[in-house]
C-alpha cells in the first residue's frame, strides 16, 4: 500500500523490562481529554500527552501552542529475555493528513481546470508547484519534528540519540 503521508519507524532494545518502560512513560505522560473544558495547570515533569495501555501507547510531545506538523507516536513494548523491544511509529495526526490530502486534491483539480478549460499552462504549472511545495514543506517540517520528539523520548529513556533519524 502506498502511503502519501510521511511516516517514520524505528525499533530498539532497552535493558529495562516492559513494566519499567511503561512506568517511566506513565510518569511523564498526561492523559488528555480534549472534550473537557477544565484547564489543567501545566506540570514541568510532563513531557508527552497521550494514552497508555498495558504494552502499547499513543503519545505526542507536549506543546504550548498548536503545531500541525507534530508527529503522533504509536509505540509497542515487547518483553525479551533481558529487557524489552520498543517499536515506535511516527505519523501525522489524522487532521494533518486530511489537510494535506485536501490541498493536494485542490491543486490537482486546479491544474486540470487550467489545462482543460482555460489552456493556461502557466497557471497550471503554478498550481502544480504550489501543491508540490505544500507537500515538500509538510515533509520537511515532519522530519524536523520527528527528530525533536525522538530526542525527547531518548532523553526520557536515558538513551543516546540514534543515527538513523530522518
Split at pLDDT 50, 70, 90, the class of 92 is very high
- Which residue is it, cell 533519524? 165
- Which residue is it, cell 515538500? 136
Which sequence spans correspond to the domains of the chain?
8-93
pLDDT at residue 110, rounded to an integer: 98
Instruction: Quick: pLDDT tens for 134-164.
Output: 999 999 999 999 999 999 999 999 887 655 5
Q: Which three cell numbers stand for residue 59?
A: 503519545
Instruction: Quick: pLDDT tens for 38-74.
Output: 666 667 789 999 999 999 999 999 998 889 999 999 9
pLDDT at residue 82, rounded to an integer: 93
The CA–CA distances, whole Å, from 9 to 33, 90, 93, 126 equal 26, 6, 15, 34
Q: Average model confidence (pLDDT) for the chain?
A: 91
Q: Judge whether 7 and 89 are in contact, CB under 8 Å.
A: yes
Tell me how far apart the 2 most distant CA atoms of the chain are, in Å: 67
Q: What is the pTM of this model?
A: 0.89
Q: Which residues of 77-114 are buried (b: 16+ CB within 10 A; e: fewer)?
A: beeeeeebebebbbbbbeebbeebeeebeebeebbeeb
Amino acid at each position: 500500500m502506498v502511503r502519501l503521508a510521511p511516516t517514520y519507524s524505528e525499533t530498539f532494545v532497552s535493558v529495562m523490562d516492559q513494566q519499567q518502560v511503561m512506568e517511566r512513560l506513565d510518569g511523564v505522560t498526561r492523559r488528555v481529554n480534549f472534550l473537557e473544558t477544565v484547564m489543567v495547570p501545566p506540570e514541568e515533569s510532563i513531557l508527552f500527552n497521550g494514552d497508555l495501555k498495558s504494552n502499547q501507547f499513543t503519545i505526542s510531545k507536549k506543546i504550548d501552542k498548536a503545531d500541525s506538523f507534530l508527529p503522533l507516536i504509536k509505540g509497542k513494548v515487547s518483553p525479551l529475555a533481558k529487557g524489552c523491544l520498543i517499536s515506535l511509529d511516527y505519523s501525522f495526526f489524522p487532521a494533518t493528513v486530511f489537510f494535506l490530502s485536501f490541498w493536494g486534491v485542490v491543486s490537482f483539480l486546479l491544474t486540470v481546470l487550467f489545462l482543460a478549460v482555460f489552456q493556461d499552462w502557466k497557471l497550471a504549472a503554478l498550481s502544480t508547484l504550489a501543491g508540490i511545495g505544500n507537500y515538500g514543506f509538510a515533509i520537511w517540517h515532519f522530519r524536523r519534528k520527528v527528530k525533536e520528539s525522538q530526542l525527547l523520548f531518548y532523553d526520557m529513556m536515558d538513551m543516546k540519540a540514534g543515527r538513523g533519524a530522518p
